[in-house]
Chains A and B, each alone.
Chain A
Amino acid sequence: MLLIECPWCGPRAETEFSYGGEAGIPRPADPDALSDAEWADYLFYRSNPRGAHRELWNHAQGCRRWFVVERDTVTNRIAGSFRLDETVPVPASAAEKQPEQGD
């Protein structure tokens, strides 16, 4: 279970939060101007990186604020949590690669 730092409430257990997917995908200003492919890109396609990932979390059982977490998808290490009105620093480099085996 992750320990997630809410920018307001501090570190809380993952069970208090809900996940909101990849961060930094703005809604297109004029959806009608987009081709089907461009709209599909906004709607369905995500970067799904191996390493540093900016993602939205909601402190659902706490202050109900949405915020950005930078989490390494390999190690689950969290580099930082940021309010939506904060300038978010440049992403950390991808973490070391390690193959994972199933059981």
Chain B
Amino acid sequence: MAAGQANRLPRGGRIDRSRPLRFSFDGKSYAGYAGDTLASALLANGVSLLGRSFKLRRPRGIVGGGAEEPNAVMQVGEGAAARPNLLATQVELEPGLAARATRGWPSTRFDIGAALDSFGRILGAGFYYKTFKYPRAWWKLYEHFIRRAAGFGKAPDSPDPDRYEHRNAHCDVLVAGGGPAGLMAALTAARAGARVILADDDVEFGGSLLAGGDAIDGAPAMDWVAGAVAELREMPDCRLLSRGTVFGYHDHNFLTIVQRCVQEADAAAQGPARRPVAERLWRVRAKRVVLAQGAFERPLVFCNNDRPGVMLASAVSGYIHRHAVLPGRRAVVFTNNDSAYRTAIDLAGAGAEVAAIVDSRPGGAGAIGQRVKELGIPVLAGHVVSDVSGRRRVRGAGIARWTGEPWSAVEITLRIDCDLLAVSGGFSPAVHLHSQAGGKLEWDESQLCFLPGEARQPHDSAGAGNGKLSLGDCLADGLRAGKAAVEALGLNPPEIEIPATNESPAAPIKALWRVPAAKDADRCPKQFIDFQNDTTVADIRLAVREGYRNVEHVKRYTALGFGTDQGKLGNINGMAVLAETLGKPIPEVGTTTFRPAYTPVRFGAGAGESVGALYDPVRKTALHQWHEAAGAPMEVVGQWHRPRYFPRNGEDLHAAVARECLAVRNSVGIMDASTLGKIDVRGPDAVNFLERVYTHNVDRMKPGRCAYGILLGEDGMVMDDGVMARLAEDRFYLTTTTGGAAQVLDWLEKWLQTEWPELEVWLTSLTEQFSTLAVAGPNSRALLEKLGCDIPLDRESFPFMHVRTANLAGMPVSLFRVSFSGELAFEINIASGLAPDLWRKLMDVGREFELTPYGTETMHVLRAEKGFVIVGQDTDGSVTPVDLGMNWLLSKEKDFLGKRSLARPDCLRADRKQLVGLLSRAGCTVIPEGAQLIERTGQRAPVPMCGHVTSSYHSASLGHPIALALVAGGRGRRGETLFAAPPGREPIAVEIVSPAFYDPKGGRQHV
């Protein structure tokens, strides 16, 4: 026996005694074994006080053995790798593991908050809503208090070093839970040839069999488990996931499983690059699902039932058999059903003294009662434990005769000393996933639990989760569910015999929802229903007195089933006490709805690999490497990374943009515009189709002609814009905004496929095929001529708003004489693979003209100087072309999408926000984009707003700042003064002007 493990049994258990290890809890070092959980190791070391309760700061110890554990919530690990919210019952013990209780502040033994226990009445039901509400001025104080005192652990504040991954999987049958029923179902399905996934949240398969001395076919039950697991592992289409918790059951049989993959110590030894996956999130699409997640034992509700040392009977058995840990030396067992009698036998077998079995049923147990008698264990039938003594550890049980009356006071007639009180209030099937899947729940009055009722999706429940509590029934039910699943899949179920078990018949459970106390229900010591949330019987009674009737409301008012608990431990007791308080049968009160996640899931598992460089796709143009080499900072536009500016000699954004702008205005600049969407439109009905979607007269465009076009939604609002060109009678080339490329194509296809299938038109995206190099500035023509172009580029041969195919520097290109800067400009479209070559040649030849690469920022300034809008920046989905002053684009001779909406009364309002230019009266202030515009200063709040600034820059060409804005009735208000009111700054006086600041007649682009 390792030193200090006072409660470790000398023999037995599934721990590996050849692998002792050390771990720490709250800074103190302890010994344990591989195969321990953190909980079992702490119990082995006699650590019974693990933390303080959430609200009342009462001392708490381990209650359960698995996912239902309410108290032992741990913070495991240190620094960035710390994991909050872990249940000690589910943490595998590893060498060097460092755990802290998450609720004690500042420590579990001395807790300032513990004083709150005496203020229990203040912190009663609805304390969230009442206590911390008034007076309002105190809220800051409350918030501080709540943040310090509440919550389960602390999120790490540096990046999580662990690696996570997602895995998609498909199967015929997913079995959730690897106990006797789940294994039986999986075996049945796998033998029938189905693709099977079997997931169990424990380290080993076996479920309840891991914790007991059961026998199957005359041998230890775990032998049968080992055989079944070995067979399943051999099957090629069967995947076994241990340490895998099915935590979400979503629509269309889509389930999510989180699988813990490595032990922390191993991970730390690997460098970050070789670090193995810590957790894997399985996203499973299953044809059929069998839910076999077992049942949770319920505690009994009596005074001070939360004292450390009061444990679930099945958990006590589990610690004895699985971990060779004896949690107490002198035990009392308190039950309303037969199952806890086995715990009494287990305790006696492990050398503990069982002082008494207190059984609320006047008739006591079935056949097992005889075995207990043979062991000399006294049974007090028709009695209850009404109260316990001891504060940091249970010291004794106060016993009373059970009257059958829940609310009247009883007299404690006997006190028995004990350091362990093992309780069983019956079992609640783990119906969480069934309920998540939309399945109904049905109350079973004989077993006193909710059973899975009608399923909404193709799933089934089996075993204890289906109310089959004996081992024989579990195996039979697993077989049945497995057969049903494969039959539904059209496979032949195999012939399998149900393995033999040797169980004796049990006496029925008898309802005992609230044990009466020596005082009346509202004055007696606290009787806990939900340990984690400190919800008591009195809280539920208070909620009812305050008018709450609906179970969902009572849940929220009392916090019953919040936190990691999610209704695992206290739910049924809570419903039943509510029902008794309301004087209604339990099924009439009903239960709450269960939702994912079944157990806490780390954010990292949800994110998977989508972190850092893989967080979102980075789309790169063919010229990206050139931009990077030039040191251009990137701007993210949609998923594209576009160069924002090209700094020279340590220039900042402002200096670089000013230089780039002047270069375009005075000589020539070049920009990578490849991210524009490009769509090839072909077919005899191409004109007809485009006439319906564009607002201008497309049929008047001759081949070789370009036009600026806008697309409206049917609501009349501007959706996208771009240059479109007619390449031939039956062929067009559309460009869209960078962000709109995919949506516009889908939207055009939608009209074509759903509304006008008779039109013979093909749409093909060419966004990726072509790169676009925009060459802009008075020297752009000279540059292209110098580079060598096989067509004449002069104004007469190739006028503004025309398109030509040509060979440029020997490379095939399309040239568009369009301009987004107001200068003489050419947009060169070239196959993306050739684009870097052409760019380099342009840069070489361009030296003579001081050809200047420019980024998105300069492009924005240049277009704003011209008053050209950017859809999505100067528009927001509520702007019509009329608002933008684009009436000239709206054909009067045809219908087009959105046209009718422009005649709606709201679109005709004179006070609609319209596009205008703004100049700062002071002349030198760049108005912040997004600033609201007001009529006058000095008004009292709320100040009416008459518009907002959409674009704002310093214009190097003009020598002063400019801005675009949407202003109510703005076009008729030229010359008037408004005030821009950026938050926290002095209002800025601005003058409404025309949005065309630079070369308003547009002469420069026509040269």
Are A and B in contact, CB atoms below 8 Å, in the complex? yes
B305 shortest CB reach to chain A, Å? 28
Q: Are B753 and A66 within 8 A (Cβ)?
A: yes
**When the two chains form their complex, are residues B754 and A84 in contact, meaning their CB atoms are under 8 A apart?**
yes
| B252 part of interface (Cβ distance < 8 Å) | yes
In whole Å, how far is B438's beta carbon from the nearest beta carbon of chain A?
7
One of A34, A60, A66 near B900 (C-beta < 8 A) = A34
Q: Which residue of A lies closest to B904 (CB)?
A: A36
Counting CB contacts under 8 A, is B749 at the interface? yes
Max chain A C-beta neighbours (<10 A), residue from B251, B552, B749, B757: B251
B252 contacts which of A3, A65, A98 (Cβ < 8 Å)? A3
Q: Check: A48 CB closer than 8 A to any chain B CB.
A: no
The reply on B746 being an interface residue by CB < 8 A is yes
Is there contact, CB below 8 Å, between B254 and A40?
no
Is B986 part of the contact surface with A, judged by Cβ < 8 Å?
no
A39 to B55, CA, bound (A): 58
Interface bits A28-68 vs B (CB < 8 Å: 1, else 0): 00111010100110010000000000001010100011100
Inter-chain contacts of B250 with A (CB < 8 A): 1
Give the docked Cα–Cα distance between A18 and B744 (Å). 13
Contacts of A77 in B (CB 8 A): 456
A1 near B251 (CB under 8 angstroms)?
yes
- The answer to whether B750 and A56 touch across the interface, beta carbons within 8 angstroms, is yes
B750, A3: Cβ atoms closer than 8 Å: no
Beta-carbon contacts under 8 Å, A57-95 to B: 58, 60, 64-66, 75-78, 84-85
Given contacts A1-B250, A76-B252, A103-B595, contact A43 B714 (CB under 8 A): yes
Residue of A nearest to B252 (CB): A3
Give me 16 A-to-B residue pairs in the complex whose CB atoms sit less than 8 angstroms apart, sorted by A's number. A20-B750, A27-B714, A27-B755, A32-B900, A43-B714, A56-B754, A60-B742, A60-B746, A66-B753, A75-B438, A75-B456, A78-B252, A84-B757, A98-B438, A101-B552, A103-B595
Q: Which residue of A lies closest to B283 (CB)?
A: A1
Please name the residue on chain B nearest to A103 by beta carbon: B595
Taking A20-B750, A84-B754 as contacts, is the C-beta distance between A43 and B899 under 8 angstroms? no
CA of A98 to CA of B755, assembled, Å? 36
Is B901 in contact with A43, judged by CB distance below 8 angstroms?
yes
B954 touches A (CB below 8 Å): no
Q: How far is the CB of A55 from chain B (nearest CB, A)?
A: 12
Given contacts A27-B755, A34-B900, contact A2 B251 (CB under 8 A): yes
Asked whether any CB of chain B lies closer than 8 Å to the CB of A26, the reply is: yes
B593 within 8 A of A: yes
Does the CB pair B749–A66 fall under 8 Å? yes
Closest Cβ–Cβ distance, residue A60 to chain B (whole Å): 6
Cα–Cα, bound, A75→B904 (Å): 38
CB-CB < 8 A to A1: which residues of B?
Answer: 250-252, 254, 283
A75 to B665, CA, bound (A): 61
User: What residues make up the interface of A, taking CB atoms closer than 8 Å to B?
Assistant: 1-3, 13, 18, 20, 23, 26-27, 30-32, 34, 36, 39-40, 43, 56, 58, 60, 64-66, 75-78, 84-85, 98, 100-101, 103
Q: Is B691 an interface residue (CB 8 A)?
A: no
CB distance from A6 to the nearest CB of B (A): 13
> Chain A: which residue is nearest B440 at the CB level?
A98
Are B254 and A31 interface neighbours, CB within 8 A? Answer: no
Query: What mask results when residues 907 to 926 of chain B are scored 1 for a CB within 8 Å of chain A, else 0?
Result: 00000000000000000000
Q: Does chain A have a CB within 8 A of B237? A: no
Whole-angstrom CA separation of A56 from B750 in the bound complex? 9
- Which residue on A lies nearest to B715, using beta carbons? A43
Is B285 located at the chain interface by the 8 A CB criterion?
A: yes
Which B residues lie within 8 Å of A84 (CB)?
753-754, 757
For window 261-300 of chain B, which residues contact chain A by CB distance below 8 Å?
283, 285
Interface range for B: 20 to 34
Select A3's contact among B254, B746, B755, B895, beta carbons within 8 Å: B254
**Which residues of chain B come closer than 8 Å to A40, judged between CB atoms?**
904
Give which listed residue, B750, B753, B755, B895, contacts A31 with CB less than 8 A.
B895
Q: Which residues of B contact A34 (CB under 8 A)?
A: 900
A66 to B753 alpha-carbon distance, docked (Å): 7
Which of chain B's residues has its CB closest to A56's CB? B754
| Closest Cβ neighbor of A66 among chain B residues | B753
What is the chain A residue whose CB lies nearest that of B743? A18
A36-B904, A66-B750, A77-B456 given; 19 more Cβ-contact pairs under 8 Å: A1-B251, A2-B251, A3-B285, A13-B285, A20-B750, A27-B714, A32-B900, A43-B901, A56-B750, A58-B749, A58-B750, A64-B746, A64-B749, A66-B754, A76-B251, A100-B593, A101-B552, A103-B593, A103-B595
Total contacts A-B at CB 8 Å: 68
B1003 in contact (CB, < 8 A): no
- Taking the closest CB of chain A, its distance from the CB of B898, in whole angstroms, is 10
Scoring B252, B593, B715 by chain A CB atoms within 10 A of each residue's CB, the highest score goes to B252
Distance A48 CA – B649 CA, assembled complex (angstroms): 61
Which chain A residues border B753 with CB–CB below 8 Å?
Answer: 65-66, 84
In the complex, which residues of chain B have a beta carbon less than 8 angstroms from the beta carbon of A3?
252-254, 285
Contact check, B746 vs A58: say whether CB atoms are below 8 A apart: yes
Tell me the minimal C-beta distance from B695 to chain A in angstroms.
14
Q: Decide yes or no whether B592 CB sits under 8 A from chain A.
A: yes
Query: In the complex, what's the smallest C-beta–C-beta distance from B944 to chain A, in angstroms?
Result: 28
Report the bound CA distance from A78 to B714 in whole Å: 29
Any A CB within 8 A of the CB of B490:
no
Q: In residues 833-847 of chain B, which contact A (Cβ within 8 Å)?
A: none
Q: How far is the CA of A102 from the CA of B754 in the complex (A)?
A: 36
Q: What chain A residues lie within 8 Å of B552 (beta carbons)?
A: 101
Chain B minimum-CB-distance residue to A44: B715
Instruction: Give Cα distance in the complex from A80 to B69, angstroms.
Output: 44
The smallest beta-carbon distance between B110 and chain A, in angstroms, is: 36
B314 to chain A, nearest CB (A): 29
Which listed residue (B283, B757, B900) contacts A39, Cβ 8 A?
Answer: B900
Chain A residues within 8 Å of B901, by CB: 39, 43
The answer to whether B905 has its CB under 8 Å from any CB of chain A is yes
Question: Do A39 and B755 touch across chains, with their CB atoms under 8 A apart?
Answer: no
Residue of A nearest to B756 (CB): A27
Assuming the contacts A1-B251, A56-B750, A58-B746, asked whether A36 and B905 have C-beta atoms less than 8 A apart, the reply is yes
Shortest B246–chain A CB gap in Å is 15
B702-743 CB mask vs A (1 if < 8 Å, else 0) is 000000000000110000000000000000000000000010
Q: How far, in angstroms, from A102 to B742 measured CA to CA in the complex?
A: 35
A100: nearest chain-B partner, CB-CB: B593
The smallest beta-carbon distance between B784 and chain A, in angstroms, is: 37
On chain B, the residues within 8 Å of A76 by CB distance are: 251-252
Q: For the complex, what is the distance from the CA of A3 to the CA of B252, rounded to whole Å?
A: 6
Docked complex Cα distance between A20 and B746 (Å): 10
- The contact string, 1 if C-beta is below 8 Å from chain A, for chain B 746-769, is 100110011101000000000000
B593 touches A101 (CB 8 A): yes
Q: Which residue of B lies closest to A31 (CB)?
A: B900
Please report the C-alpha to C-alpha distance between residue A84 and residue B714 in the assembled complex, in whole angstroms.
21
Known: A20-B750, A101-B593. A2 touches B252 (CB 8 A): yes
- CB proximity of B921 to chain A, nearest CB, Å: 42
A26-B755 contact, Cβ under 8 Å, with A39-B900, A76-B252: yes
Q: In the complex, which residue of chain B has the Cβ closest to the Cβ of A68?
A: B754
Contacts of A58 in B (CB 8 A): 746, 749-750
- Say which residue of A31, A36, A85, A101 sits within 8 Å of B757 (CB atoms): A85
B562: nearest chain-A partner, CB-CB:
A103
* CA gap between A85 and B593 in the complex, in Å: 42
Closest to A77 in B: B456
**Interface membership of chain B positions 183-224, coded 1 if the CB is closer than 8 angstroms to chain A and 0 otherwise:** 000000000000000000000000000000000000000000
Rounded to whole Å, the gap between the CB of A80 and the closest CB of chain B is 14
**Chain B residues with CB under 8 A of A43:** 714-715, 901
Instruction: Give the complex CA separation of A30 and B900 in angstroms.
Output: 9
For the complex, what is the distance from the CA of A34 to the CA of B901, rounded to whole Å? 11
Docked CA distance A46–B413 (Å):
70
A21 to chain B: closest residue by CB: B750
B285, closest chain A residue (CB): A3
Q: Kindly state the separation between the CA atoms of A95 and B253 in the bound complex, as whole angstroms.
A: 18
Shortest CB-to-CB span from B172 to chain A, Å, is 14
Task: Give Cα A27 to B752, complex, Å.
Answer: 12
In this complex, what residue of B is CB-closest to A60?
Answer: B746
Q: Which residues of the partner chain B approach A56 to less than 8 Å between Cβ atoms?
A: 750, 754
